[in-house]
Amino acid sequence: MSSNSTADNLCAPDDTLCIVREHEQGVIIVPTMLLVATLATLLGLCLMRYCPERKRTPTTAPQRYHSSSHRRTQRHSHRHHLQGIDAPPGINPLEHEELPMSVQQVQRNVKPTLAAVPQTSTERHHGAFGQITALPLSFSIKQSDTVSLYRARMDNRNVVLRVLKETANSSEKQHFLGFASYVSGLGPHPFLPVLLGVVSVQSPLMMVVEELQHRDLLGFLWRCRQDISSLESSCDMTEKRIFTMARQVASALEYLHSQRCIHGDIGARSVLVGGDLTAKLWGLGSAYRRSRQADLVEDVEMRKWQAPEVLSRGAISQSSDVWSFGILLYEMVTLGDPPFAQLMATELLQYLQRGNHLKRPANCSNSLYSIIGSCCHWRPQQRLSVPGLIRKLEAGEKSANGRTVLRAPEPLNIERYLREAGYGEAFNYAVL
């Protein structure tokens, strides 16, 4: 006998409540459970479809970076999931997108070229590096054992890749990323090189910095010493150009001091020169090392640029940077001569203690030499402040000679320069 017949037999025909109770499981409970299961299934499908993807398993590609506009819009929503160093505000971090790189075989007498393999996905082509080549070093002075420099194209502009070698240990990797974070934290300034991004998720780790066409100021000054008939007129150094470039460097120095950063390594080697002869202050490695270790002992090779209080192992200060800035002016007006060439580095402190000072170059005007003397005063408190230095440079720029091209009495001899500047064989000339 069926359940319907049983219900009819147990309940009177007009007893609706009895009939509903007898059929409750079949017409209420089971359909309700089916409805709930259906809704749960639909909810799960919606979550899988519209929620952000979980982090995918890394591929064999060595590095990743953001490039597409879709990823840019999601950047702030999942920043806490990123690893490594974020790029400065408003700049795309070069992370989390694939960029395989390999060294190509090249012909003899040609330096190895680092080639970027393009991605097949249209989502990732915007930020790819192209035309990557090893960056040659000036005068074959040794490069860092842990960092290699490459010139590349990114977003239709020239950039320099500061690449940590794959053989670097964990301490060197930590130092590299710490330096990248330190530079990023300083923020942008028109006379500091632009940090375009940091590849930090997978090796090789790298910093991406704008390329300045003429590279370091010291090499630029040395090229200006050569026969100018074979060079472009942009290499002509005049007193007015010295004031202009020095004012730009001083502006960057004032900004660094406002960020509680004492540079500690100012010199022509740590200034970069753009194609329009804009000067930008770089060489921040010493400042970063000092931020990690307050009692850092500076390299012997820097001693001829250091203030007397630093030579005597006293405290370094903003006034110490002003002293070094005076030495930079001397380098510029002499087209790259070393300071205190007649002395050994170990003799310099005693020489200064006796009241001696930098000798005036033959082609240095009274106004420029006066600024050099005001920067290189024995007592730190009597040196120019950086704002005062900028005012003097601005005033000198207005009246400086912009027609007479500076000349050097003799061509460059690199071995002699290294000896007179007090550099050892292990000196690393690569400042990027």
pLDDT in tens, 108-123: 333 333 333 232 222 2
Would you say 149 and 216 are in contact if contact means Cβ atoms under 8 Å apart? no
Q: What is the pLDDT of residue 90?
A: 39
What spatial distance separates the first Cα and last Cα of the chain, rounded to whole Å?
94
Domain at 84-210, CATH class: alpha beta
Higher pLDDT, 145 or 135: 145
Whether the per-residue pLDDT at 60 is higher than 80: the answer is no
Report pTM: 0.69
> What's the sign of the alpha-carbon dihedral 79, 85, 90, 95?
negative
List residues with catalytic annotation.
Answer: 265
Contact 183, 88 (CB under 8 A): no
Best CA proximity match to 355, nearest among 323, 394, 308? 308
Closest by CA to 395, choosing from 377, 371, 361, is 371
Give tens-digit pLDDT for 149-191. Answer: 888 888 888 899 999 988 899 999 999 999 999 999 999 999 9
Between 50 and 34, the more confident residue is 34
Which carries the bigger pLDDT value, residue 224 or residue 383?
Answer: 383
Residue pLDDT, tens place only, 199-208: 888 788 999 9
The matching CATH number, chosen from 1.10.510.10, 1.10.760.10, 3.30.460.80, 1.10.10.60, for 215-421 is 1.10.510.10
User: What are the residues whose beta carbons fall under 8 Å from the beta carbon of 66, sequence distance 6 or more?
Assistant: 72, 75, 92, 93, 94, 95, 96, 97, 127
Cα(74)–Cα(94) distance, integer angstroms: 15
Residue intervals in the chain for CATH 1.10.510.10: 215-421
List, by residue range, all CATH 3.30.200.20 domains of the chain.
84-210
